Structure formats: C-alpha cells, structure tokens
Amino acid sequence: MIDIQERLFPHIHQNDALLNKVEILLEGWHILEIPVLATEQYKKGLGETLDAVRTRIPAWNAVEKKAFSCCDEPEFASSLVRSGKTNVLICGIETHVCVLQTTLDLLNTGYQPVVVTDAVSSRFPADKEVALGRMQKEGAILTTVESILFELARVSGTESFKAISRLVK
C-alpha cells in the first residue's frame, strides 16, 4: 500500500471512491491473511497515513521513504525479499509517480506486480490512465478490488468467501 497520506489525499481525484475501495481491499487482505507492506512518502511534508486506512492493517508499521519507488527504500526491499512472495498486489497514490515507479522496478527485479486499478489514483485522471497503460504494456497485471479478492478466495462456500461477499456488496 503506497502513500495514502493525509496531506496529499484530499487532492486526489475521486478520493472518496478511492478510500472506499482501499478499505474493502485491506479488509479482504486481512480476511485472506495477505501480508501488507505500507509506505509513507516524506511524512514531514505529506503527513501520516489516513486513520481510516491505518486502522485496517493489523500490527501497523509503515516504511518512510523519500524515493518515489518503494523498491529504492532498503527497508521495503528487504521486507519484500523476506516475505518470499513473488506476486505483489499494489494500491495507493499517486498512480503516475510512486505507483508507476514501484511497479516498473518490481518488474525489473523479477516480481509480478498486480495493480488494483480502482484502488490507485492520481490528482488528475489522465495521469492515472496513461500510467496504467504504461504499466500494462511493461508487463504488470491490472485488476479490480472485487476481481482480485474473489480470485484469491478461489472457491465459494467458505467463511472467507462469505466475508468477501459481504464486503463487496
């Protein structure tokens, strides 16, 4: 989860819809026991992660960064390596800066980024759209909150599936 911070967030296009999707995504990840790595870009200038987001992540701990790409932050990079994961689900802001650069760096280092398109945004819609197009062309997978949560749930009838179904309604 990339840089969903209090001083930048009010300027993001359709931020209420974005916040709703991020909250659903984070709740779904919690249900499915998907670990979350969170970042904060230059906290002194952009502030803390939104309370509404931070409270949805158990054992909250964000990596502060000054580089735009999360991969340029050694603490983030080492946490990702320790996780043993090769697929990286991405949500956050801004799509055309930190999300884009992180996605490209993940691709270049052998990871498969999966960008959740309705859980990323920018100040201007055109910046988001161009960035998503570039990410897809470079090899990132694009998906939506509902699609990825059901893909990760895999089957119906389980408690996880039922909880996910309630979230997306």
Return the DSSP state at 57.
S
Of 3, 70, 71, 128, catalytic: 3
Of 91, 98, 105, 128, catalytic: 98
Tell me if residue 65 is catalytic.
yes
Helix (H, G, I), strand (E, B) or coil at 155: coil
Euclidean distance between CA atoms 8 and 122, whole angstroms: 10
What are residue 113's DSSP bridge partners?
88
Token digits for 80?
A: 């990702």
Of 21, 65, 71, 128, catalytic: 65
- Strands (DSSP E) found in the chain: 38-41, 62-65, 87-93, 112-121, 141-143
Euclidean distance between CA atoms 76 and 63, whole angstroms: 6
Tell me if residue 127 is catalytic.
no
β-strands 87-93, 62-65 pairing? unpaired
Tell me if residue 3 is catalytic.
yes
Q: Phi/psi of residue 108, each to 5°?
A: -70, -15
Closest CA to 57 of 77, 87, 27, 82: 27
Among all residues, which ones are annotated catalytic?
Answer: 3, 65, 98
